[in-house]
Amino acid sequence: MERRLIVEQFDPECPRPSGIDTCIRGLARYCPPNIKLQIAGVDALGNKRLGEWAEYDIGGRSVEFMPVARLDPGNIRKSRPHSGWVAYGLQKYRPAADADVVNTHRLNLAAIVLRLYPRAGLVQYLHGSGIDDLEKGSRSIFRHALFAYRWLERNVIPRAVDTVVFSKAGTDRLTSLYPRVRFSPNWYDPAEFYPSQSEAVVKSRILWPARIEPQKNPELAVDVMSALPEQYTLTVAGSGALDAMMRRRAQASGAAKRIQFIGAIPKSKIGAVMRSHDLLLMTSRFEGYPYAVVEGLASGLPVVTTPGGEPNRLVEHGVNGARVDADSPELFVPAVEVAAKISARAARDSVSRLSAVSLVPEVLTIPRDGKA
């Protein structure tokens, strides 16, 4: 049996609206029986003993977890990067020192793992396009040090036994430079995301499920609603640094009475929220392989998206949603009308191959040319 350690700023008791958090929970829930999964993460709630293993339930599966640092991953206003605290904790407690494989989701942590776990195979997951995202406005600390990110790529990826990239653009760039790089789409959890039993005859309830941050382009979502006819409503499910700005913009718009803010929704409840809507709107400036799109389609919601909001061509115009060519509110009016004519079944069928039941074992299986 393979013994695999995941290292990340993750607390099993504190779900976060992030792709990495969603990924780890999916890996834990649908991990095949030939892999023993353990997680070294953080104590975000202040209720755990650092350096001690304990069993936690993640999606109905019992997983061993050790916190190696005490911090809140959601608080990014720290003088010292969170990865630094995790790296210090790894060195101090050295969890699963005899692991066969160590799985990281950040290149800076991977560099530490290569030094602390020299006998283990490194598996690196990348959740975006890397340099491209940094240049487009990512909030990562590396946006101020592109040279450091490039150095990490050059020194980590060639030494990994497997690198999985959840972005087609990122995969295309890296496969031209390094061996053992492969693409994977993100998945949906079939236990959480499925269509409503009844489908609206007139699709008019639009959901915007996202962190209210610059990358997600919340201004455009409000402007789209101002351009749409009166029968459409928008629910904003999220919170973030631009929350107050988005609320002010909505209040000042002509669509103020048709926009509702419900705040950040726990991951365990977002499926039910999706089933109470008809369409999903993505206005992001850039994404890797957004879980929200996959989960929305799995819930029967046709998706209306910008080029950056769904860059992998999962959303096909007139098939499971609609695409616009630019971030112009007027272009969304005919796009929403196209998406509103698409059935929930067509949306769901378009992602039938992306169930976590089948994708997670594939992602966790190291190709034969890797040497774990």
360 shares a domain with 328: no
pLDDT, one tens digit for every residue, the chain (372 residues): 999 999 999 999 999 888 999 999 999 999 999 999 999 999 999 999 999 999 999 999 999 999 999 998 766 555 457 888 999 999 999 999 999 999 999 999 999 999 999 999 999 999 976 656 655 555 666 565 677 888 999 999 999 999 999 999 999 999 999 989 999 999 999 999 999 999 999 999 999 999 999 999 999 999 999 999 999 999 999 999 999 999 999 999 999 999 999 999 998 899 999 999 999 999 999 999 999 999 999 999 999 999 999 999 999 999 999 999 999 999 999 999 999 999 999 999 999 999 999 999 999 999 987 554
172 shares a domain with 275: no
Q: Considering the domain boundaries, does residue 195 fall inside one? A: no
pLDDT of residue 120: 97
The percentage of the chain sitting over the pLDDT mark of 90, rounded to a whole number, equals 86
227 shares a domain with 86: no
pLDDT of residue 279: 98
pLDDT of residue 345: 97
Q: Considering the domain boundaries, does residue 194 fall inside one? A: no
Residue 107 sits at φ, ψ, to 5 deg, of -65, -35
144 shares a domain with 225: no
pLDDT of residue 81: 76
pLDDT of residue 250: 98
pLDDT of residue 72: 82
Evaluate whether 55 touches 62 at the Cβ level (below 8 Å): yes
169 shares a domain with 156: yes
In the block, residue with structure tokens 């430079």 = 177
pLDDT of residue 328: 93
Q: What is the b/e burial string over 10-27, where b = at least 16 CB atoms within 10 angstroms of the residue's CB?
A: bbbeeebbbbbbbbbbbb
223 shares a domain with 336: yes
210 shares a domain with 177: no
Question: What are the C-alpha distances in Å from 114 to residues 68, 85, 87?
Answer: 17, 17, 11
218 shares a domain with 120: no
Q: Considering the domain boundaries, does residue 91 fall inside one? A: yes
Q: Which structural domain, as residue segments, surrounds residue 73?
A: 2-187+355-364
Dist. CA 302–CA 20, nearest whole Å: 24
Domain count, the chain: 2
360 shares a domain with 298: no
pLDDT of residue 372: 46
What's the one-letter identity of residue 304? V
162 shares a domain with 109: yes
pLDDT of residue 96: 95
CATH of the domain at 81: 3.40.50.2000
89-134 pLDDT, tens digit each: 999 999 999 999 999 999 999 999 999 999 999 999 999 766 566 5
Q: Considering the domain boundaries, does residue 372 fall inside one? A: no
Q: Considering the domain boundaries, does residue 199 fall inside one? A: no
CA atoms within 13 A on the CB side of 329: 15
